[in-house]
Amino acid sequence: MVYRFRCQHCSFVVWSASKDALVDAVGSHVLDHHRQRVTKHDFRLRWDCPYCESTGQYHGLDDGIEKLKRHLLDHVTSLVESGVHVTDNIDGTGNVLVRSPHGSAASDNARVHLLSPGDIVVFVTTAPDERLRLLHDELREWPAQTVIVTTKSDVLENVSGIDSSEMPLELVQLDGRLGLSGLGETLSRVIKEYEAAAGRIAVEFDILSELIEKFDLRTVFKLLHVLGQRAKRADALAHYHIDSRARSESTINILGKAFDLSVRARGQRFVSESPPGTG
């Protein structure tokens, strides 16, 4: 079960499978909108509620702020929706950008959430062993089909302790010298191969940072645009990971319009602060 809160005052949206984690983020966000309601006078803190007649007066500053946060939450928790998916607003198709610290629990959480609607799971990755490990640990059963597109060889030899013999798996070996159009064609071919099959396709694209370092931005933008259109036609969802601590993070703003949705993964939460296409 995933919960969602959409702010009524701005474009902030937060999702989480943990209601506590969600409510915590909502409290801080709503409080930020109403900081001007707090005044300090003679070591005392006073606030008045923007929604009702309530006021509060406290000797402890932190205590007063916390009370206001709790009070504001009472007004807005009815806006929390449940049983949603991050991609509901885009009909579960197209391109989603995920910013999170590389190798974090937050990025794995995003992977699981964005792959889980897929029956056919496609990875474009340099870490196929880690992705198979994640599927094994987090999903109750193997997807109907898993496709790994990678430059790595001997993929299965590096995955210890997992019996992949029962797993429907296609390995697509990429030539590391392949240009962007070659990569695009390969992915398009993979999507075509499974487009007519029963179930939905979910693509995880891990190598966006590498592409940004290696190729010029216009060509990368074109590839992303084409892949997004291709995904929509196939009713598929593609998501792209970028390290929120990497230098390419600022560059990625230029690519904003290539994505239908952009979220930050933090802990157990996803946050979207700007409408699609503005980064």
CB-based contacts of 86, cutoff 8 Å, min separation 6:
2, 15, 96, 113, 114, 261, 263, 270
Name the segment binding Zn ion (CB under 5 A); options: 4-12, 98-106, 134-142, 237-245. Answer: 4-12
Shortest Cβ distance from residue 107 to Zn ion (Å)? 25
**Residue 52 in the binding site for Zn ion (CB under 5 A):** yes
Strands 44-48 and 38-41: antiparallel
Cα→Cα distances 132→42, 51, 106, 109, 240, Å = 60, 49, 17, 15, 17
Residue 26 · residue 33 · CB < 8 Å: no
Is 28 or 54 the residue whose CB approaches Zn ion more closely? 54
Is 49 one of the binding residues for Zn ion (CB under 5 A)? yes
* Contacting range for Zn ion; rule: CB under 5 A; set: 43-51, 94-102, 103-111, 250-258: 43-51
In the complex, least distance from residue 35 CB atom to Zn ion, rounded to whole angstroms: 12
User: Residue 109 Cβ, how far from Zn ion at the closest point, in Å?
Assistant: 23
User: Interface with Zn ion by CB under 5 A: which range of 1-9, 18-26, 40-48, 79-87?
Assistant: 1-9
Give least dist CB 49 to Zn ion, A: 3
Strand partners, 262: 97
Q: Does 7 bind Zn ion (CB under 5 A)?
A: yes
Residue 10 interacts with Zn ion (CB under 5 A): yes or no: yes
How big is the site for Zn ion, counted in residues (CB under 5 A)? 8
Given 28, 51, 61, 137, the residue binding Zn ion (CB under 5 A): 51
Query: Whole-number minimum distance, CB 129 to Zn ion, in Å?
Result: 41
DSSP conformational letter for 277: T
Give the one residue of 28, 39, 54, 173 binding Zn ion; rule: CB under 5 A. Answer: 54
Per CB under 5 A, the segment of 48-56, 129-137, 160-168, 265-273 that binds Zn ion is 48-56
Residue 52 or 217: the one with the smaller Cβ distance to Zn ion is 52
The yes or no reply on residue 9 touching Zn ion (CB under 5 A) is yes
For CA atoms 4, 31, 256, 174, give the dihedral sign. Answer: negative
14 SS3 class: strand
Smallest gap, in angstroms, from Cβ of residue 257 to Zn ion?
23
Burial 77-101 (b: 16+ CB within 10 A, else e): eeebeeeeebbebbebbbbbbbbbe
Q: Which is nearer to Zn ion, 13 or 183 (CB)?
A: 13
Tokens representing 152? 């790595």
Q: How far is the CB of 21 from Zn ion (least distance, A)?
A: 18
12 in contact with Zn ion (CB under 5 A): yes
Q: Which long-range contacts (CB under 8 A, 24 or more apart) does 155-162 make?
A: 155/128, 155/129, 158/128, 158/129, 159/128, 159/129, 159/132, 159/133, 162/132, 162/133, 162/136
What does the binding site for Zn ion look like in residue numbers (CB under 5 A)?
A: 7, 9-10, 12, 49, 51-52, 54
